[in-house]
Structure 1
Amino acid sequence: MSALFPTYKRFNLSVKQASGTTVEDTDGNTYLDFGAGIGVCNLGHRHPDVQLALENQLNQYWHVSNLYQQPIQEATAKWLIENSTGDQVFFCNSGTEANESAIKLARKATGKHKIISFKQSFHGRTFGSMAATGQEKIHTGFGPMLESFHYVPFNDRDAVKRAVDGDTAAIMMEMIQGEGGIHMADPDFVQEVAHVCRQNDVLLIIDEVQTGIGRTGKPFAYQHYDISPDIITSAKGLGGGVPIGAMMAKKTLRDAFGPGSHAATFGGNPLAMAAAQAVLKHVFQDDFLHGVTEKGRYLQERLNKSVGDLPVVSSIRGKGLMIGIECTEDVSHKISSLIDKGLLVLNAGPNVIRLLPPLIVSKQEIDVAVQLLSGVLTDEKASIT
């Protein structure tokens, strides 16, 4: 029996090493990785720039605590604020911590308590971020959720307007619901949410944990929508595989997070900062982001041509290199078949195959992945006819 809690339903794959877009198991089998550690390894595994940055920092210092000035934190924060609407950054260790920080900041800065989020959203598994998550299956078994969270249907403008009241501190949303099934926010809906926030003195929190750091072809996905969020959260791709989270906010909120208001012992760890700087210097380049856009377009075109007309496929949607293939049935056995054939993919809910390849993926590797997907989905078609 394993010494680990069974909190994860693990595949029968034991990892030995990984490099670039390839994972190798302990039996010597290799896999093309279209999951990227659940959207974490945006520059692939062991990217040389990230590895060098980590090695250099290892030879300087690993941890001293946030009681002291650390120039590497300021330098990393500068990359984030220069590529977002944020002015201030709080570093932590994960996406759920970043969202906890956002919830605390919104409530403290406004003096109000209600947070509106969306059905099928996902914001994390600690109690605040879990309460913000609009999925009953995430709440089940943990007793009453924290009060003052209210869920409305995604892309429903009228529902948002009805939900806002004098105690609403913030609206919290994803531009693309990742865990919820790769559902994209409608541009008109996003504009209406931003308008409602401005009209009612409500903060707008954008959860970019999965969609940020180049995943959709922009530094952050909200930048496709011409809005200016008050608070932005980031994690996953930010550290290239090293644990890190960040919460960015406008300078008007600075005073709400004074000394003693919030903390994270390992937040802003110099190793994480070194990795993040290396990632951001690489990803936040126009040519690189243009390449993500082009490869995302190519992936969707190849998928539509190869599997879009199969009876088992009901839709293909996404942006950049964040793609969902919705099927007419549970996809767990399809994902297992793909792993057996050498392609690592994810699910997003029971019926969606989620593709989050490293942003460095080549068109040739996309062709290989589409061929494998086509084979498995065609086999499934044959099995149900």
Structure 2
Amino acid sequence: MTRYKFLIILILLSFSSIYSQHKIKETFSEKFVPFVEIYSEKGDLIGVSNINGVISSELENKIYNSNATNLTFVNSSYITSELSIEKFKNSPIISLNRISIELDEVVIMKPKTYKYLKLKGYFRSLQINEDRPHYFIDGIVEMYISLKSDKIKMRIISNRSFENKSINQLSPTYFFMVAGVPVFNEFASFKNLNNEYNLKIVNNLKTTILDKETNLEKGTISTLDNNSNLQLEIISTLKPKIMKAFGMETDYNNYTINSIYENSENQKINLENIIYFKEIRSYDIKRKQKDKFQKVESTHEFYLLEKEYVNELESKQFDDFYTFKRPSKFEEKYWDKVDNKYFQPLPKSIEKYIEENLKLIKKIK
């Protein structure tokens, strides 16, 4: 009987090893990579790994049920990687190569009399409805941040706007659109982050971010090539935000941010030092109680190109954040000239899907 029990245990262990969860780690390191986006070759976002770099059982099932033949793994601090589904099945550990960057130190003097921090950057935003890219917009944007109140005014200088005409909104009168320029989250500043969460210093290269109520790990601050990298899960499927208004229900079940700062000191995590910002959002929405939920996911990115301190606003007209701007307006191919060392092109699968299925909203002549 003991022999049979031992054989059963061995069989169970073999099954558990075959079906164990995949993890995503940094090449030549024991560090696991959180919040990695996983796309199929069709350009749809299948899901995101958790804070510990683990691909959950639920996400693994979505990957296998998607009938994808190739997977793309995306994280802003790592080189985008592609893997066939067969290699994925046989690779419990997925390794990503960190982007190796040496940045020249830039010192900008800020006299106390200056009123605004002006950031000029490249932005791009993708909205996915039911696993298919619906809207894509990118462009050049200027932001004016009040050094007194932290309020931000923004205007879009140039933009390309694409739409997938084959995807329907909730109804002819109910639209859910979040594609556009992102506003920086309040926790992209150390002061606000420190007030809301418990920060635990692990070593001189890593600080963990803990929920004050549950003490669960919500993110990390790590040193990256003498810069600071903040990765934070603000809303998760474990604790979604349910919003009901005007007969609509929106289950807000994922909101993560990933930002990089040109300083390795935690206390200097703020908009004056930001050089990259990304957020991922996921929603389930429906118009009526009996309707089926529609899944909407979006990614928004900002790459710093220039910054300066100014006393005056250079415009009286500004745009709204998270607004899909129509029509397109550009004179040159600005998307080929993004001078930010963390910039990576969109995954090829998404570029191909946009090219084949989305239509450019014609620019102003």
Query: TM-score, with normalisation over the residues of structure 1?
Result: 0.22
- Identify which of structures 1 and 2 has the higher relative contact order when contacts are C-alpha pairs closer than 8 Å and 6+ apart: 1
- Bigger Rg over Cα: 2
Name the structure where strand makes up a greater proportion of residues. Answer: 2
Name the structure where helix makes up a greater proportion of residues. Answer: 1
Query: TM-score, with normalisation over the residues of structure 2?
Result: 0.23
